Each structure stands twice: as structure tokens, then as C-alpha cells.
């Protein structure tokens, strides 16, 4: 979300970039990102340690995901799951709305640029890799966590958690490096 705001300011308000994204503003945004991540993790940690577990402690996952931990609980954990889903969804929805709004403004500003200036290509080449990475991350996460319960199975859950946690970070450097002309030429020669 912060990267999206950076793109928005650099394209839509370039003369105000130094003011809006000075070192103090960047420090505040970084602190807010760290604090929200810490508080969200603290919520999950406190919830996990307060659960009475009676179905053992072995998970068939490659890391401990909250839905699988809630399945090990002796108590009815539907209310906890609903609360965690509501908090998580509000974080994700807030970021998603901000990203969509920012990119709508960016595309409106870019499309107003006359195509003869060549600035459209530069603006799009700056924004599209970030948009591709965000789309990949959101789509894999949405499919992993919002699939219907009838599709749920331990092997599918394991596969989706690996897909969600490995594929976007692995493709991130490749997507961003596609702006490099030498890499593009090498990819085209391979194909």
C-alpha cells in the first residue's frame, strides 16, 4: 500500500513529492506498517495461546496457519474465527481499496498525458510491475483463504498455503526485473 502511495504521489503530484514523501513521512509510514503488522501478529499469537487444544498438536501444513490451529481446539472456535476473519478482512479491504483508488487516479493521470511525450510508457513501466505483484499476491491469498469449505482437504490446504507463501515472493524479483532491457532480450532469445 505504501509503494502504491509512492507511485501515486510521483505520478499525480510530482511537484509535491518532496513534501508529501519526505524522510519524516516515510518514517511515519514505515512505523505504521510495522506497528499494524505487529498488532495483527499479536492478535493471532494471543488468540492461539488462549485456545485449549485437545486434538494433539500435529498439523499437516508446512507452517502453522490459523484455520488449522483453530481445528485443533477443544472449544467451539467459530466466534474466534469470525473475529479474526473480520479483523483480517478489514486490514485487507482497507489496503485493497486504497490500492484500487490510487491506481485509478494514476491511470487517469497517465491517460491525460499526450502520447507523443513518451511519458506514458515510463509511467506504465513504473506502475505495472507493482500492480502485477499485488494482483498475484491478492489472487493467491484470496483463493487460499476464501475457498468454499466443501473444497477443503488437507492436501489442497497444504498446496494452497505453499502457493500463497512461495509463488508471489519467488516471482517478485522476476516481475520487477522485466523492466530491464537486457533481461527482456535474454527471455526473448530463450523463447
Q: What does the pLDDT look like over 22-79, one tens digit per residue? A: 899 999 999 999 999 899 889 888 887 887 777 666 766 666 677 777 777 777 777 8
Q: What does the pLDDT look like over 92-122, one tens digit per residue? A: 888 889 989 998 998 888 888 777 666 677 7
Beta bridge partners of 53: 73
In angstroms and rounded to an integer, the radius of gyration of the C-alpha atoms of the chain is 21
In residues, how long is the chain?
Answer: 191
pLDDT for the residue 61: 67
Are 69 and 59 a contacting pair, CB within 8 Å?
A: yes
CATH assignment at residue 7: 1.20.1070.10
- Tally of domains in the chain: 1
Which residue segment(s) compose the domain that 18 sits in? Answer: 2-190
Instruction: Name residue, grid cell 486434538.
Output: 55
Q: Max CA-CA distance within the chain?
A: 68
What's phi and psi for 73, nearest 5 deg? -75, 145
User: Which 3-state string (H, E, C) describes 124-163?
Assistant: HHHHHHHHHHHHHHHHHHHHHHCCCHHHCCHHHHHHHHHH
Amino acid at each position: 500500500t505504501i509503494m502504491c502511495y509512492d507511485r501515486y504521489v510521483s505520478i499525480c503530484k510530482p511537484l509535491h513529492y518532496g513534501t508529501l514523501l519526505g524522510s519524516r513521512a516515510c518514517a511515519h509510514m514505515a512505523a505504521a506498517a510495522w506497528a499494524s503488522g505487529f498488532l495483527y501478529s499479536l492478535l493471532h499469537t494471543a488468540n492461539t495461546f488462549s485456545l485449549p487444544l485437545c486434538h494433539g498438536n500435529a498439523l499437516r501444513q508446512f507452517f502453522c496457519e490459523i484455520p488449522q490451529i483453530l481445528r485443533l481446539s477443544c472449544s467451539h472456535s467459530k466466534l474466534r474465527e469470525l473475529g479474526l476473519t473480520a479483523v483480517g478482512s478489514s486490514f485487507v479491504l482497507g489496503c485493497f481499496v486504497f490500492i484500487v483508488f490510487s491506481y485509478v487516479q494514476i491511470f487517469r493521470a497517465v491517460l491525460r498525458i499526450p502520447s507523443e511525450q513518451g511519458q506514458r510508457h515510463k509511467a506504465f513501466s513504473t506502475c505495472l510491475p507493482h500492480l502485477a505483484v499485488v494482483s498475484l499476491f491478492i489472487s493467491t491469498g484470496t483463493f487460499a483463504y476464501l475457498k468454499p469449505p466443501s473444497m477443503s482437504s488437507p492436501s489442497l490446504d497444504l498446496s494452497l498455503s505453499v502457493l500463497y507463501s512461495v509463488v508471489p515472493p519467488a516471482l517478485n524479483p522476476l516481475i520487477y526485473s522485466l523492466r530491464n532491457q537486457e533481461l527482456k532480450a535474454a527471455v526473448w532469445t530463450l523463447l
